[in-house]
Amino acid sequence: MELTSPDLSPAAPRARVALLSLGGTIFMQQDATGLRATPGDHAPENLTRTLVDDVAVDHEELANIGSPSVTPAHLSRALRAARTAVDDGAAGVVLTHGTDTLEESAFLLDLLWDREAPLVLTGAMRPSNAPGADGPANLRDAVRTAAAPGARGLGVLVVFDAQVHLADRVTKVSSRSVDAFASIPSGPVGLVAREDVDLLYRPVAARHTPLLTELPDQLPRVPVLHAGLGEEGALLDALAPGSLDGLVIAGVGLGHVAADMMPRLRALIAAGVPVVVATRISHGGTSTHHYDYPGSEVDLIRSGVVMSGRLTPHAARLLLQVLLVGGYGADGIRAGFAPYES
């Protein structure tokens, strides 16, 4: 009987994933004191430690910056690169990103993502050379998710700490913990498994039609004003006419403001400036019908304000900016927020 040597050549990968990087803590290193993490060229080290055996990964660095400095121009480039990768045969795309604004980028990209393949954002809370660095595991899990058949059709996803989150529900809930992200109000959509995603539920609503084809390098001027005790919006009196394209109020409770703020908001709306009211409360969203007093949600809606529903103030800001770029008027803006009513 003739003995033959086993075939030790590597098996063909089951999928190919494009890895795009914008930097963030996942590619930072801290100094000898264990503090002051700074950007550096640490991508090769992280890639080596996180390659998934049966998934081929192609890496392209788009930037290496902290996430407060990420701009729509960076995301526009990432969007184009992600679409090209999928059209060239990638099963999915991973985008590394700092955690400070990761949820905002995920939500904004989701408004434009028009492929069945998943676009997965991930990052890290600990620098790459820190004890217990979480970046390698997060990157591995993101690659697995991008290649997972069960993740197709879910749009833009965030993968962190072995959990999979939908872009319109994920929010950062800790500025320090490696368990930094949660989905409100539903919890994560799935858990990362070796070759697929263990879905905990599938969204009831169908995927939205992308609101834009391309993302401009700059978005309309839409600040967020936080309501609170004694806040009547006097700052709005100091703004020059035409200096705002829109306004988001992070209201209190179910989306309420002080009665004395109402004349200012009505004046803005009369001048053609759309106003959206969200809530600064993390759970529950805004209402449309619980209270009817000056500054309540019923009074706001009667005055022409749009309520953000379950969207956070920063997500509401991004949606309003995208709707303004798309040229939507008052009715279109109200319709754009309608799917998020709670």
Q: CB–CB of 316/307 below 8 Å?
A: no
User: In this structure, what DSSP letter does residue 135 have?
Assistant: H
**Other C-beta atoms lying within 10 Å of the C-beta of residue 125:** 25
Coil vs helix vs strand at 32: coil
Q: CB–CB of 189/204 below 8 Å?
A: no
HSE at residue 175, side-chain half, CA atoms within 13 A, is 0
User: In this structure, what DSSP letter does residue 326 have?
Assistant: T
Q: Return the HEC string of 244-302.
A: CCCEEEEEECCCECCHHHHHHHHHHHHCCCCEEEEECCCCCCCCCCCCCCCCCHHHHHH
25 catalytically annotated: yes
d(CA 337, CA 288) in angstroms, rounded, equals 12
d(CA 190, CA 159) in angstroms, rounded, equals 9
d(CA 263, CA 231) in angstroms, rounded, equals 13
Q: Which of 193, 149, 178, 163 is CA-nearest to residue 26?
A: 178
* The pair of three-digit structure tokens given for residue 265, joined into one six-digit string: 């908001």
Which of 25, 96, 171, 286 is the catalytic position? 25
d(CA 52, CA 69) in angstroms, rounded, equals 30
Catalytic residue list: 25
